Chain A
Amino acid sequence: MEEIIARGAESIILKTERWNRIFVLKWRQSKPYLFRDIDSQLRKTRTSRECKMLSVARALGVSTPAVYAVDLDDYTILMDYIEGSQFKQIANSLPKNQLKKFCSEFGTSIALLHQGDVVHGDPTTSNVIIDSKSKLWLVDFGLSEMNATVEMKGVDLHLIHRALETTHWDLQECMLEATIKGYSDTIGEEAKDALARMEEIRERGRYH
């Protein structure tokens, strides 16, 4: 039994059964329009990177699906299936205080990564899953990196800001504030550098 549950930009997410249990199979398909060397390299590096970083993130205290198998010839990862919804899908229907709570937890998760010098690389609300027990999970670590500098952390925060303004335009102020609060409360004083860099990166854009 295999069922497509999501079709992303670079992968297909399948729900699959193995050993009498439900798993997710993430499959990075070939993109025929890309030059073949770039295509195979991206698929390979992102698949292996995602496996590694899901574990690294978990060691830093962030909830991520566990990896059970990886196939670098087929570019697939078998991991935990998280029963829940994308934060993006439910943000609009949540009561304000609940929304703020999840944003704050999202900020905390990103902070935990940053404290370990890890960046997520694509921290949008599509990559945050809220499960049936209201627990927050981070997924999609294909663009994640270790040994992160202040610049890389600033970019990560800038991407959150951008995701909120494009996807949650009507709630963006409230969501950004709660996310940043969760981030700052976790990191403390040192959050200032990355937050200042976030502003700087935004200003660097052509029309700010």
Chain B
Amino acid sequence: MVLFCLGLEGTAHSFGAGVVTDEGKVLSNEWDMLKPEQGGIHPREASRHHSDLGPKIILTAIEKAGINFSDINLIAFSRGPGLGPCLRTTATMARTLALKLDVPLVDVNHCVAHIEIGCLESEFNDPVTVYVSGGNSQVIAFAGGRFRTFGETLDIAIGNMLDVLGRELGMGFPAGPIIEKLANEGSNFHNLPYSVKGMDLSYSGMLTAAKKLFSEGVPIPDICFSVQETAFGMLAEIAERAIAHTKKQELLLTGGVARNNRLTEILKGVSERHSTKFHRVSPSLAGDQGAMIAWNGILQFKAGHTIGISNSHVLPKWRTDEQDILWRA
């Protein structure tokens, strides 16, 4: 019998619902991203966005999957890490559904789900994963029963850095795609702080220096070009360090910033240097969405892991390496 899992994702500015089978078929994957008129993401507004749109998104996901609520065998939800109010809103929907439908509930780690959906799509077994988004810049690999963070940002995430810079340069949210487009028109490279510390990196100094270039009248395309080359170069270096260190044979790029073509090209270059396979997760599975939560839910459920409602409080600071990865043991 085929299992149907409904996965709910709501860790930050996006709410998503997806239906995935235990054969790894993504039957539906619906989401909506809060786009504030100005400024960044306010946790309370994002959680309101989730509670306003969530029910409709869930309904659409069920419809598009061509099933009924009664067909669902399992509810999975993003338990963390993320913004507290968003996590709680999402968890409340998941608990309600699990009780109403009388099916097991599975708590999923958002970062782990990004890796596993990437492995499903790429058919990779054991990659070094570069996970880059608005809130995360991590290089992760499986070792000793857990996904361990070999390197990460010591201050702000790459997506966050791009958004803040974009705001400074007068761009809307999200700024990443606009910066990528303008970078193609840039030609003069300006030196920016390149800050790699071991396998960690830091973007705050680069951001400050880039803002300064703007105040000095450097053309915006040149700033975008210089920022991309520097920021992605740093990421490539820590990814390369992780590959050299772990000797793994696959490199996976995922998260919202995986949509960037220049970053993809650079990481492809890294994989060529080390003769590893490379895969960029396709846009519909790279950002925050419910299908990854549903798929991870299935993996966990099959390894015998579910959670009782009373224990299912959210974990806003849930680290990637805090979970025993039973299904890979």
Contacts and interface: CB of A to CB of B under 8 A. Distances in A.
Contact of B245 (A34, A35, A159, A167): A167
A208 B317 CA distance: 6
A99 interface: no
A121 B245 contact: no
A42 B273 CA distance: 17
Interface centre among B152, B154, B236 (most CB of A within 10 A): B154
Contact of A165 (B136, B272, B321): B321
B266 A33 contact: yes
A115 to B, nearest CB: 20
Interface in A157-171: 158-159, 162-163, 165-167, 169-170
B229 interface: yes
A162 B148 CA distance: 10
Interface in A31-70: 31-35, 37-38, 41-42
Contacts of B270: 33
Contacts of B317: 206-208
Contacts of B269: 31-34
Contacts of A143: 196-198
A159 B319 contact: no
Contacts of B149: 162, 166
Given A9-B243, A33-B268, A126-B245, A201 B154 contact: yes
A207 B233 contact: no
A110 interface: no
A49 to B, nearest CB: 13
B135 A206 contact: yes
Given A35-B189, A170-B144, A207-B319, A9 B200 contact: no
Nearest to A119: B197
A143 B238 CA distance: 13
Contacts, number: 98
B240 interface: yes
Interface in B225-248: 229-230, 233, 236-237, 240-241, 243-245
A129 to B, nearest CB: 16
Given A31-B269, A35-B229, A143-B198, A7 B244 contact: yes
Contact of B146 (A38, A162, A169): A169
B125 to A, nearest CB: 19
Contact of A207 (B155, B230, B318): B318
4 closest cross-chain pairs (CB), A and B? A33-B269, A159-B198, A35-B229, A9-B241
28 contacts: A9-B241, A10-B241, A35-B189, A35-B233, A38-B194, A38-B230, A38-B233, A42-B194, A122-B198, A124-B198, A124-B245, A143-B196, A155-B197, A162-B151, A162-B199, A166-B148, A166-B149, A166-B150, A167-B245, A169-B144, A169-B146, A170-B144, A204-B154, A205-B154, A206-B135, A206-B152, A207-B317, A208-B319
Given A9-B243, A33-B265, 8 more contacts: A10-B237, A32-B269, A35-B233, A37-B191, A121-B198, A158-B200, A165-B321, A208-B317
